[in-house]
Amino acid sequence: MSKSKILGKMALIVFTMGIILVGNAVAGEYVTERVTASWYGTSKVIAFGNDYIYAAFEGFGVWAGDTGKEMLHGAATHNVAEWQFEKGSYSETGGVVWTLLNGDKICLKYISTAKPGEAPKGTITAVGGTGKCAAIEGSGEYTVHPSTPSVEGAVFQGLVKMKFHYKLP
């Protein structure tokens, strides 16, 4: 097989993998993905009396898309945050890095809140990234569905269901 045919086939493979790894994204157009993360995390919790609890949190997980073709499908998630319970109400602010299957990263900030007896809900905003995601524009809404931790040492475990809207340059 000639050198040009080999290079042509390699270019086709790289192009096809690029489409697969970036999911539904088309440069310059907004895409909406529905994804779910399974996550767990640990915290350092300090109670200041009965009405105020503060914690530093680190969490880990992986995203799964509804179709398996989403850019975020299979992406690892790693976040650090602080959360507080004050008179029963919950709030959390933090930052997160998503690492896509192709190695590109998306950096985000988020905030969530909940009143007693409610599931925490929040918003997330992209603040940067690497590779094809270097100039990503995006935001989303999510709901946290906590469960009883099954991992020794995990303080939190559960699912995060999110709708993420983004545009690649």
Q: Quote the distance between the C-alpha of residue 135 and its chain's center.
A: 17
Q: Is 18 helix (H, G, I), strand (E, B) or coil?
A: helix
pLDDT of residue 4: 43
pLDDT in tens, the chain (169 residues): 544 444 334 333 434 444 444 445 566 899 999 999 999 998 899 999 889 999 999 999 999 999 999 999 999 999 999 999 999 899 999 999 999 999 999 999 999 999 988 999 999 999 999 999 999 999 999 999 988 888 776 678 999 999 999 999 8
Select the CATH number that applies to the domain covering 3-167 from these four: 3.90.1150.10, 3.30.420.40, 3.50.50.60, 2.40.350.10: 2.40.350.10
Q: Which two tokens stand for residue 80?
A: 């650090």
Q: Which two tokens stand for residue 99?
A: 């690492």
Those residues whose C-beta lies under 8 Å from the C-beta of residue 65, and which sit 6 or more positions away, are 23, 33, 34, 35, 72, 73
Q: Is 49 helix (H, G, I), strand (E, B) or coil?
A: coil
Q: Which two tokens stand for residue 94?
A: 């933090």
Domain positions in the chain are 3-167
